[in-house]
A and B are shown apart, each in its own frame.
Chain A
Amino acid sequence: MATNYETHEYDVLVIGAGGAGLRAAIEASAAGVKVGLICKSLLGKAHTVMAEGGMAAAMGNVDDRDSWKVHFADTMRGGQYVNNWRMAELHAKEAPARVHELEAWGAVFDRTKEGKISQRNFGGHRYPRLAHVGDRTGLELIRTLQDHGIHQGITVFMEYTIVSLLKDGDRVVGAFGYDRERGRFRVFKAKAVVVCTGGLGRAYKVTSNSWEGTGDGVSLAYHAGAELLDMEFIQFHPTGMIWPPSVMGILVTESVRGEGGVLRNKDGKRFMYDDIPENYKSQTSTDPEEGWRYTQNDKNAKRPPELLTRDHVARCINREVKAGRGSPHGGVFLDISWIKEKIPNSAEHIKRKLPSMYHQFMQLANLDITKEPMEIGPTTHYAMGGIRVNAETQATNVPGLFAAGECAAGLHGANRLGGNSLSDLIVFGKRAGEYAAKLAKETSAVTVSDAEIESAYKEAVAPFERAAAGTTEGPYQVQYDLQNMMQKNVGIVRLQNEMEEALAGIGKLKARAAKVAVQGHCEYNPGWHTAIDLKHLLTVSEAITLCAMDRKESRGGHFREDFPNKDPEAQKYNSVISKAADGSMKLRREPNPAIREDLKQVIEEMK
């Protein structure tokens, strides 16, 4: 009975305390409503801390030719025009104000010579655009929001996991979850719920995501009736660590290339010059000397091909490895140490510009990046797809439910530009908080159903009962099998028959997941947490696979060996996933919204 559970009531409940969740919570509380904030980890540890390069905002501090229009056009080009154009417009227009607001809350960005916020080059951005703090911008963002947020009267629930969203009819009215420390279940009643749970990289074996990136929010929203959008578009970041094995997947920031780092195969060749896509030819240098000048902020130079979009760079690396031109551990070489030919005291320069990369390689790989090249390879990094939201309000199709950040979809289209994620978090986190608060103010008290809570409870504790009944398979093996299969069959290069195999495999894994058993009790039990995450991982894996099978072309993060080219017809639709009445997952194609005429012109002008 629900009366057994401690119940908390909020106007707005935010699930997830990374950049988007914190920003949403701050905005909602500033609007004068009562806000609860759920973190899966301790406050300030969310995956946002891993973002390194910076946040994109067309402030024009380093190059005054930049403007929201250029940023908009870059974002659409990077996303290969399946982006939600309205989100791309709002993002480009509002990002500068959101960055300045962080400074007003205490963030300390790197400076230009005039004392303004400095901006750096990044893949796919025409001008230096990323506000940054060395290579730890994500930490600066989350800490600034955290330190501002703790004085706003927000109630923070650290180390809580939500297992289900609660509904009253069509409407989301709260959430049910437990604290990870003690395993005590809690009911959260809320007039509006904002899901900001981040990524789903843990569906893959090699990923830059932490254990938290299990697609919880996407899955919770889906099971509550929300539509998912463009799930086939997964970003494989070109540069993850590959050696030693224990660090496989950990991100090596794009800033290494932004600061002049180059990619080479085992023959020492800069292979990125071999394949420059048509739509980037006019912006890309064919001369290494010019490429170097670009990284040193020469306004007249064009970017080196290492700074092409992530999807393209990742595929080029994949090609080199497959052709037998890879590094000893199955990747390629990323070299920043070569800049000693260009600048005196380069070791100090590298340490100052890329301190955490220097630290990371020294500590984890025993390798000095100022002296030797790194070995890197693609890693599952980011989900462009996710919960479908309204561009203005971040509302989903389910009343009372909002989403923002990586778990939401639309802004990035088929491929996200580096630096557009942190700005996404603050632009749309704010909007989600604002509109959730507005809805909460217009809503009278909500009621939750005891029966629904009871069934969510039973599902959550079932693994213990199965253990008591003698079942032996634990959750870890199912998780490993899923990760291996997704990596192999629905990864960076995709084929119809392999994906069909994966879809059948997901069906079998679902059956196994429904039977896993966990020993012990609810108190801080990682085995149990993994068992609960399995449902989410399987839900998002199924959605990714269905969408990827249906899109018979290659675009952005979605590359099909059997359909290697872009299909202009396929640019006209988005993939939409929904849960059918019988509980099965349904996919439909939906024409993407017609772009406003003036924005169409902006895109044309910037081509």
Chain B
Amino acid sequence: MNKTVTFRIWRGDATGGKFVDYTTEITEGLVVLDVVHKIQAQQANDLAVRWNCKAGKCGSCSAEVNGMPKLMCMTRMDTLDITKPITIEPMRAFPRIRDLATDVSWNFRVKTKIKKFNPRPPDAPDGTWRMMQEDVDRVQEFRKCIECFLCQDVCHVLRDHHKHEEFIGPRFLVYTAALEMHPLDTEDRLPELKQAQGIGFCNITKCCTKVCPEHITITDNAIIPLKERVVDEFYDPFGWLWKKIRPKG
């Protein structure tokens, strides 16, 4: 059965904007992105919204639905209270471009600063490696990330305190964890994590874990183990002593 719904969508650009109400009919089985598209096609041809796969795999359609960071393509209308207007606004942790599209280019710049994968020499004469499934399970969890940047959006260090120059955010802590815990990798990224990448800013409120559409246990499985490694490396006096006196080779 068709129902009427009002979407309160933020319209504007970097200089400012306002919420505009659009009322439309919806049918069974729609997601938020469908309704935004319907409004775009019928009432606001120039409404800016990013999307691609419409199946929760590309991470393009991130926005805040009734104040919650969500993928619009994976938010079913029947999970929302349609008796009240539904607010749709762009992510708040990034500069606005237009309407629902934000400038997420900072994320791409941050990634280039993290040291790339650097594998050990191949294990077999044919140039291949051997890794056991149980040794890659954890890394595979991190590599599920679709780079929707909702974790960055919800992180108060970025969202409220704007520490973009000092803190890389949950997404890139997960990225670093995937590299650091990769069984083949030989690089050391701990000094940067402690300094330029600001892992200490994270006070493990776990908001990032809650909003992750891929259900990556960001805080427990990625950030906390990285914090422990940083602590072991730089703050553990016994560890420090051991490194000084341990037999070489």
Q: Let me know if A9 is at the binding interface, CB within 8 A.
A: no
Q: A244-B28, A245-B29, A519-B45 are in contact. Are A210 and B58 (CB under 8 A)?
A: yes
A106 adjacent to B117 (CB under 8 Å)? yes
In angstroms, how far is the closest chain A Cβ from the Cβ of B172?
Answer: 12
Question: Does chain A have a CB within 8 A of B180?
Answer: no
Q: A245-B27, A246-B29, A527-B46 are in contact. Are A44 and B147 (CB under 8 A)?
A: yes
- Judging by beta carbons under 8 Å apart, are B59 and A363 in contact? no
**Across the interface, which residues of B come within 8 angstroms of A116, CB to CB?**
128, 130
Contact residues of A: prevailing secondary structure:
loop
Interface of B is mostly: loop
* B31 CB within 8 Å of chain A: yes
The answer to whether A250 and B130 have CB atoms under 8 Å apart is no
**Do B108 and A43 have beta carbons less than 8 Å apart?**
yes
Contact B54 A247 (CB under 8 A): yes
Q: Contacts A147-B116, A158-B105, A364-B31: A47 and B131 contacting too (C-beta < 8 A)?
A: no
Within 8 A of B (CB), among A108-129: 108, 110-111, 114-117
Cα-based distance from A106 to B41 in the complex (angstroms): 41
A136 to B143, CA, bound (A): 10
Determine which of B13, B53, B140 lies in contact with A133 in the assembled complex, contact meaning CB atoms within 8 Å. B140
Nearest-neighbour CB distance to chain B for A22, whole angstroms, equals 14
CB-CB nearest in chain B for A143: B143
Q: How far is the CB of B20 from chain A (nearest CB, A)?
A: 14
Cα–Cα distance between A105 and B117 once the two chains are bound (Å): 7
Q: Which of B28, B49, B57, B103 contacts A49 (CB 8 A)?
A: B57
A227 to chain B, nearest CB (A): 30
Query: Of A47, A106, A251, which is within 8 A of B52 by CB?
Result: A47
C-alpha spacing A366/B28, complex, angstroms: 12
A245 nearest CB neighbor, chain B only: B29
| Residue picked from A116, A147, A150, most chain B C-beta under 10 Å | A147
Q: How far is the CA of A158 from the CA of B103 in the complex (A)?
A: 11
- Decide if B50 is an interface residue (CB 8 Å cutoff): yes
| Cβ-defined contact, B45 with A211, below 8 A | no
Please, which residue of chain A has its CB at the minimum distance from the CB of B107? A42
- Chain A's nearest CB lies how many Å from the CB of B108? 6
The smallest C-beta distance from A251 to any residue of chain B, in angstroms, reads: 8
Q: Shortest distance in angstroms between B88's beta carbon and chain A's nearest beta carbon?
A: 15
- Please choose the segment from B93-101, B160-168, B188-196, B228-236 that sits at the chain A interface, where 4 or more of its residues have CB less than 8 A away: B93-101
Residues of chain A within 8 A (CB-CB) of B204 are: none
User: Is A399's beta carbon under 8 Å from chain B?
Assistant: no
A352 to B103, CA, bound (A): 35
Interface residues as binary, B18-33 with A (CB distance below 8 Å gives 1, 0 otherwise): 0000000001111100
Give the contact-size bracket for chain B. Answer: 35 or more
Q: CA A518 – CA B128 in complex, angstroms?
A: 54
Q: Which residue of A is nearest B128, CB measured? A: A100
Digit string of A81-108 for contact with B (CB within 8 Å is 1, else 0)? Answer: 0000000000000000000100111101
A525 at the interface (CB under 8 A from B): yes
Return the chain B residue nearest A138 by Cβ: B57
Complex Cα distance A366/B40, Å? 26
A117 contacts across to B, CB distance below 8 A: 128
A363 to B214, CA, bound (A): 12
- A528 vs B29: C-alpha distance in the bound complex, in angstroms? 29
Complex CA–CA separation, A103 to B117 (angstroms): 10
| B49 surroundings in chain A (CB, below 8 A) | 526
Q: Do B97 and A111 touch (CB < 8 A)? A: no
Interface residues in B49-102 by Cβ distance below 8 A to A read 49-60, 74, 76, 78, 97-99, 101
Complex contacts, A518 vs chain B, CB 8 Å: 45
CA distance A260 to B78 in the complex (A): 32
Q: Beyond A108-B182, A518-B45, is A250–B55 a contact (Cβ under 8 Å)?
A: yes
Contacts of A47 in B (CB 8 A): 52-53
Q: CA A151 – CA B144 in complex, angstroms?
A: 21
Q: Which residues of A contact B139 (CB under 8 A)?
A: 108
A505 contacts across to B, CB distance below 8 A: none
A366 proximity list for chain B (CB < 8 A): 76, 78
Say yes or no: is B5 at the interface (Cβ < 8 Å to chain A).
Answer: no
Residues of B within 8 A of A245 (CB): 27-29
B45 with A42: CB separation less than 8 A: no
Q: Are B182 and A250 in contact (CB under 8 A)?
A: no
For residue B139, which residue of chain A has the nearest CB?
A: A108
A45 pairs with B52, CB closer than 8 A: yes
From A108, A148, A364, A523, B55 is in contact (CB under 8 Å) with A364
Given A106-B179, A116-B128, A526-B40, 11 more A-B residue pairs with CB atoms under 8 Å apart are A103-B129, A111-B132, A139-B57, A140-B143, A210-B51, A211-B51, A244-B28, A245-B29, A364-B74, A520-B45, A524-B99
- A/B interface sample: 17 pairs, CB < 8 A: A44-B147, A47-B52, A108-B143, A110-B133, A115-B130, A115-B131, A116-B130, A138-B57, A139-B57, A147-B111, A147-B117, A245-B27, A251-B55, A356-B57, A363-B56, A476-B45, A524-B48
> Which residues of chain A have a CB within 8 Å of any CB of chain B?
41-47, 49-50, 100, 103-106, 108, 110-111, 114-117, 133-134, 136, 138-140, 143, 147-148, 150-151, 156, 158, 181, 210-212, 243-247, 250-251, 356, 359-360, 363-366, 474, 476, 518-521, 523-528
